[in-house]
A and B are shown apart, each in its own frame.
Chain A
Amino acid sequence: MAKRLLRLVLNGRPQDGVAADNMLLLDYLREVLALTGTKTGCDGGECGACTVLIDDKPVLSCLTLAVTCAGKRVDTVEALADDGRLSAIQRGFHEKLGAQCGACTPGFLMASEGLLRRNPDPSEDEIRDALGSNICRCTGYVKIIEAVRHAADLLKQQETAA
């Protein structure tokens, strides 16, 4: 089986490893690097639980071949908290009850993080559009949308404070 060295910038740090050509990014993260924050929710492409950011854009790690990420920046849910301090999007979900069972949450966090990185002040419609690839069977989505909006407000507060 073809294997190759794989260099990523993973969660802000250079990360060297070895990946088989037929390995999905999802499996590489979870099984090889033991970063189990990224979840598997379906048998491919239908739920968004596996969403991570590649070069700041949300992608489905369950349909991405790990070796095609060579040299790219990959951010998983583990990138969000800073030394145990929750990031704005995590606080949003925490304070507005955007998570219930939590299975979908890492995917929603990363899809939302991707949105806030390109549009820090999204409207409700923009939030709905950006989360269209993610499915949640618990919350009914309303609290998730509130959570993202709240995170945007927190970001604004942080900016004015700084």
Chain B
Amino acid sequence: MDALPEFEVVRPTTVEDVVAARAAHPGSRLVGGGTDLVVNIRRGIEAPPALIDMTGVDELKTIDADADAITVGASVTLAELAEHPDVRAHYPAIAAAAGEIAGPTHRVMGTVGGNICLDTRCIFYNQSDWWRGSNNHCLKTTGEMCHVAPKSKGVCFATFSGDLAPAFLLFDGEVELAGPSGRRSLPLTELYIGYSRQDGSTGDGKTYMSLEPDEFVLRVRARNAPGLVSGYDKMRIRRSIEYPVAGAGVALRRDGDTLADLRVAITGTNPRPVRLDGTEALCGGPLDDRVTDGLDELVRDQIMAMKTTFTPGHYRRRVAGVLARRLMQRLWDEAATS
């Protein structure tokens, strides 16, 4: 048995207790299902002095969903979200994304909070201590350089691979946060800051979220729009259990033969989940070559996948584009018959 580093486990039952526990244990980390964090602790990537178990906080275990809006607590499990009848009825992209994360046993354990805050991934990072040590580690931990982009000048490109974020981004999702200075709401587009710009003006694969110290996620919320249909699809090397090569969520509204609204979000490529900018310009006409070519162009411009996984970056970008295009076509066709 390889003993884990020493840490204390704190088991709060209310949000106030979580805030207090964070204040009382500097450097503590929250743990939901542990399917990301405990793996990293086992690999010596992290050694927090205290873990705050979120699974006993009952007020964060509720799902509220109707035709207008959805609110999901951070301690809801992926299995509960995937199976919820109102989520399936009104937010099929969210239910589908939740239902395809990892494998069924992971979904019983994994939580929404853990998935939204999922650590970014890289072949040089998600490795044992001795493996990383033999490479002199890398920027995301204690090393001095990035092995993916050796000339990156301090910037990390580790990939964001969570599946729920793109699904919520389709519906203008936001997170409700709590921290030492109270509560606030933040759009997901501002939570994820992994732009990895060379001038360091934003976050990157290492600093991928804009949470304040000791701030944490209470709930994720999103709004529906009348007539919007949605779906989620991803490709994995092994379909039953694996992180996405790339994942794509699409939501659209079809009015007769007119594409009236189009929203596309991608994961598994950039250091942040990306809601594509510029899809409004593709609306207003039928779904024809102009739209599919235009979508390809948006993917080409905004999706940047580096060699952070065993599959090459350019392939992941192509997969993202193909998934989005197929899904858009499928939703469009289905909307005609419904």
- B-binding residues in A (CB < 8 A): 1-2, 21-24, 27, 30-31, 43-46, 48, 51, 57-60, 62-65, 67-68, 111, 128-135
Contact = CB atoms under 8 A, between A and B. Distances in A.
Contacts of B8: 2, 21
B149 interface: no
A77 to B, nearest CB: 15
A133 B103 contact: yes
Given A43-B42, A58-B105, A63 B1 contact: no
Interface residues of B, number: 30
Given A45-B39, A58-B108, A60-B105, A133 B9 contact: no
Contact of B39 (A22, A23, A44, A67): A44
Given A65-B9, A129-B104, 6 more contacts: A22-B5, A45-B106, A65-B38, A68-B55, A132-B241, A133-B240
Contacts, number: 89
Contact of B51 (A31, A65, A132): A65
A44 B9 contact: no
Contact of A44 (B5, B43, B105): B43
A27 B42 CA distance: 13
Interface in B40-71: 42-43, 51, 53, 55
Interface in B319-335: none
A70 B255 CA distance: 54
B4 interface: yes
Interface string B31-43: 1011100110011
B240 A59 contact: no
A65 B103 contact: no
Contacts of A111: 104-105
A64 B28 CA distance: 18
Given A44-B39, A132-B241, A60 B9 contact: no
B109 A60 contact: yes
Contacts of B6: 1, 21-22
